[in-house]
Amino acid sequence: MNAELTIVIPAKNEVEMLPRLLESLCRQDYGRMAETRVLVADAGSTDGTVEAALGFRGRLAVEVVKGGLPSVGRNAGAKLAMTKYVLFMDADVELPEPTLLRRALWRMERRELHLATTNIACREGSFFDDVLYAGNNFMQRIGSFSKPFATGMFMLFDREVFWALGGFNERALFAEDYLLSKGVARQRFRIVRGRLLTTNRRFQKLGHWRMVWMFFKTMMHTWDDGYFLEDQGYWGEAG
């Protein structure tokens, strides 16, 4: 096994955002970045996403595989991974800090972690967007004392543990990332210092208060796995 990491990115019509993520991966100071497989799990894009991804070949080991809803795409990529670690990222994020990936892998190895994530910030949002993401980071840290909470924006998994947990539940219609991450042992989870940048489009499509309310309901149903298998209207409105 030459490489230790595989990166999986579910995507659909992300021609504007995906290149920013891939460019930020090119800037990472992780020594094995060039040989790390970057699997873009495409869900039938029609806007040039596939071509944009393949345009990074030569700088990254990019491949495009068949995807679907995020859980389907993430699992499809993970099935192709033969490395110790798998990093799941959303297509609309980027890594502003060139050291983040290296430091996250170092923490995984040294602490024998099962899952690591990082903080989230808004790239070009309003003050309210910044406040909500700061609140997310705060709740993520508070919640980690009892039950791990990570989003699909950045989930660095030990691959064997990922499959032992069953992978992403493809029947989940809401918060499939939280549903999986809360199954990780608390002592094997860490939030890596640093941040990734994302957009405010989720807030724009659903509205700030609707997102807050959905987040609150997620926390209230943390012990009810069936809640995440019900349609909460997220994909119909935010997709």
Q: Token pair for residue 140? A: 């993520």
pLDDT block averages, 10 residues each, the chain of length 239? 85 96 98 97 96 97 94 96 97 97 98 96 79 80 82 96 96 82 94 91 61 64 65 51
Give the domain extent around 77: 5-238
Give the angle 218-113-174 at the CA atoms, nearest 5°.
20
**What confidence score (pLDDT) does residue 212 get?**
62
How do 85-89 and 154-158 pair as beta strands? antiparallel
The Cα–Cα gap between 180 and 156 comes to: 12
Closest CA to 156 of 126, 125, 190, 115: 115
Tell me which DSSP letter residue 94 carries.
Answer: B
> Torsions phi, psi of 186, nearest 5?
-55, -40
Tell me which DSSP letter residue 79 carries.
Answer: H
* 47 contact partners, CB below 8 Å, separation of at least 6: 13, 14, 15
The Cα–Cα gap between 6 and 33 comes to: 10
Q: pTM, whole model, 2 decimals?
A: 0.86
The amino acid present at 157, given as its one-letter code, is F
Residue for token digits 């990115």?
9
**What confidence score (pLDDT) does residue 238 get?**
44
Q: What is the CATH number of the domain that holds 114?
A: 3.90.550.10
**What confidence score (pLDDT) does residue 203 get?**
54
How many structural domains does the chain have? 1
Q: Token pair for residue 6? A: 């595989």
